[in-house]
Amino acid sequence: MKVIDLSVDLYTGMDVFPGDPQVEIDIVHTYEKHTWQLRSLKMGSHTGTHVDAYSHMHKGKETLDEIAIERFFGKAQVVGLNKEWEKDLGLFFIEEIGIQYLEKILNSNPGFIGGNITEELERALLASDIITYTGLINLNLIRRGKTFMFYGLPLKIKSGDGSPVRAIAIIED
């Protein structure tokens, strides 16, 4: 079994989407003064490697705490744009994928999509109740077409529109 971390590091001053809150991570308690360490985290809900709830782009759609936890993990593949995709698997794209692929995506019935997707496609996927993941790294370490288990669990934010995740791929040899 091989585990691949698909998540970026979170740190003060990291790049964020233009207009999003800047990331601030500060040490509040120290071992020396308090005998433990504690950090304060300030960031937007769509910072770094993150998942988008349907409500992110559609008023009245389900929020993170309303989406079944089972929707945030499952079998998946890294796929190419011009290849056939297996049905009922999560799909991850290294190349940018746009709205022109929406019908092909819907026909494959994925539980989630991740990787390099355009904002227009992201909006359409969320409208179709397909969870989206962005800010993923290391997808190139997974052989295209190889089925693996993906986990990208969000924080259970009440009425949350998105959440940073620790995304991983588990590949069986």
Read off the pLDDT of residues 23-42 as tens digits, 9 standing for 90 and up. Answer: 999 999 999 999 999 999 99
Q: Rounded to whole angstroms, how far apart are CA atoms 19 and 97?
A: 23
Q: Which pLDDT tens digits describe the chain residue by residue (173 residues)?
A: 999 999 999 999 999 999 999 999 999 999 999 999 999 999 999 999 999 999 999 999 999 999 999 999 999 999 999 899 999 999 999 999 999 999 999 999 999 999 999 999 999 999 999 999 999 999 999 999 999 999 999 999 999 999 999 999 999 97
Hey, where are the domains in the chain?
9-42, 50-171
For the record, the structure tokens of 161 come out as 């529109």
Q: Rounded to whole angstroms, how far apart are CA atoms 122 and 8?
A: 20
Q: Rounded to whole angstroms, how far apart are CA atoms 71 and 110?
A: 10
DSSP, collapsed to helix, strand or coil, labels residue 70 as helix
Q: How far is CA 41 from the centre of its chain?
A: 19
Read off the pLDDT of residues 95-117 as tens digits, 9 standing for 90 and up. Answer: 999 999 999 999 999 999 999 99
Q: How is domain 50-171 classified at the CATH fold level?
A: Glucose Oxidase; domain 1 (3.50.30)
DSSP 8-state assignment for residue 49: S
